[in-house]
Structure 1
């Protein structure tokens, strides 16, 4: 599903948003201070200089960075997962309070990480933090904003997904994002090991639940309309990693009218943004066999920890999301029409 088609739908749905970074908003909280040193990103297994290719060109990082700023929608988690504390980070959009996220709370410094903006980036704040590396691997940076950031410090732009060109609007997988960030920090081997660990969590779930394999799953997000999330969206792809097959009837832009909700009648359905009662207020939805037979999982609010973990889609949040999701999916796929639908 193309990200630009979800502009309205995703603005309130958590860390992964469709708003491009641009200048001016002051979202800082003590962000102007330059006295706090970030955790050094020692070269470790990586050799410098290293050149990173991305959608807006290539960036050469001459030496191991020690003051990292993240300007995208989930990179803070990726950097923390590799043992580096950024000196500044973008505040996620949406209603979820990311400062409380259980998968990262032990890694956050007292007082939190200074904000460099939210819907818009604050370039003055970023400059005042004196970064030696800026990471925007999942930021959907415009060229003008990238140029401003590059004038401050070497900047890694959006990751090019495998098999795509630099003009693609598709998002890279979390594995591809982690690989690029690992190289930029001189921690490529650590990133590879972490990838194997997280992929192992998914594989453990697949092995424990062979009933998932071969069943179809639909993931629908409601935000002033219905949007079906497919494998091109990290949240849609999350559920496919358990062995489910993708709904073959996904439309080109993911948008569904109330009548087209009938296309969601697959073996398992995941509803983001509505409770069971809210979803069933649509008579078409209420009549779906996947609903009446208890084969649906509901994530009614975007400010829950599960929704936040799913939105971040990071190597820190994904294990938490797997742990939460598997029992709910097992209940939905158990073949018992009397099963009470799970809520996450």
Structure 2
């Protein structure tokens, strides 16, 4: 769930700035961290992921998040990480949806596009969370040598926010809280769909404007899943779209990330798209903006914020009236 990188994918493979000894599996990793962490009633717990499974023996006291949105999930459950990854310019702390959960705390950075294993080790974690981290086996093994590490829950980031929340809740012994939180956020989507039945069945193309052309996000991408969870359908053509094939960008509603209207419609072929001429395009702002960040994190904290921003604009685009122009973000 990339937090709004201009790249087409959610994240890339990670590399490290230092070398740490490897471990064959998370289950054999030594647990470092606070000596005060006593055996807790809810432990041990085991979490499966693409690298195998990780057993967490005791209540974690010092959690480091190494993925692209895990800090939100920990914060939503009342746990402030002792280290986190920041890959969009060290601006996570300013995101509006995280302020209350942060409570004024500052989370040290342990990597940006690349993870810094020395900084991770220095944070002295007793749990490393990376269920949406796009790790490779080498980096996972090195992290596991530092502390028990929960790796990616599915290949290529194909994991829902509900699955990630459940896994983080299990790891932190907050499963009941995670279930309540998931139900609350899901109800927000249900309420929006009920209030806007016109969303149902309409196609929506989520378009990224890139230097190389256009990219229409696939339905498996968490950013696109936000819109399908509101009742929209993914278009039949997704992926990289060449400039000469701009007709493939058309849909009942077009949502644009990474470009304002003037930039998106600079191409005469785009100007003639029915969605453009009939005011069925919503411009959701730059990749570094808060809405793109909220979509990218796709967390229990950020999704309600994204709903507040998106739903009235989508309603204006989907109402069938060309005279209704959605506000740009």
TM-score by length of 2: 0.89
Q: Distance in 1 between matches of 2:169 and 2:141?
A: 23
The answer to whether structure 1 residue 313 and structure 2 residue 298 are counterparts is: yes
Shift in Å, 1:293: 0.6
Question: For this pair of structures, how many residues does the alignment match?
Answer: 311
Structure 1 residue 96, shift from structure 2 partner: 7.6
Q: How does 1:290-309 map to 2 (within 5 A)?
A: 290-309=275-294
Give unpaired runs (5+ residues) of structure 1. Answer: 26-35, 161-167
Contact 1:41 1:84 in 2 (8 A): no
Equivalences for residues 194-343 of structure 1 within 5 A: 194-224=181-211, 225-250=213-238, 254-343=239-328
Distance 2:254 2:111 in 1: 35
Match of 1:126 among 120, 123, 138: 120
* Gap runs ≥5 in structure 2: 19-32
- The answer to whether structure 1 residue 50 and structure 2 residue 45 are counterparts is yes
In structure 2, the residue matched to 1:164 is none
Residue of structure 2 aligned with 1:81, choices 76, 82, 87: 76
Compared CA separation, residues 210 and 96, structure 1 to 2 (3 A)? farther
SS of equivalent residue, structure 1 residue 255: strand
**TM-score, structure 1 length as denominator?**
0.85
**CA pair 95-307 structure 1, distance change in 2 beyond 3 A:** farther
**Partner residue, 1:24:** 17
Contact 2:205 2:255 (C-alpha < 8 Å) held by counterparts = yes
Q: Which residue of 2 aligns with 1:165?
A: none
How far off its partner does 1:124 sit? 1.2
Q: Is the 8 A contact 2:134 2:157 kept in 1?
A: no
Detail structure 1 runs of 4+ shifted over 6 Å in the superposition.
Answer: none
**8 Å contact 1:261–1:285 — kept in the other structure?**
yes
Q: Match for residue 29 of structure 2?
A: none
Please give the secondary structure, in 2, of the residue aligned with 1:80: helix
Name the CA shift for 1:42/1:209 in 2 (closer, same or farther; >3 Å). farther
What is the CA-CA distance between 1:42 and the residue it aligns to?
A: 10
With over 3 angstroms needed to count, the CA separation of the structure-2 counterparts of 1:66 and 1:41, relative to structure 1, is: farther
Q: 1:111 to 1:61 in 2, by over 3 A?
A: closer
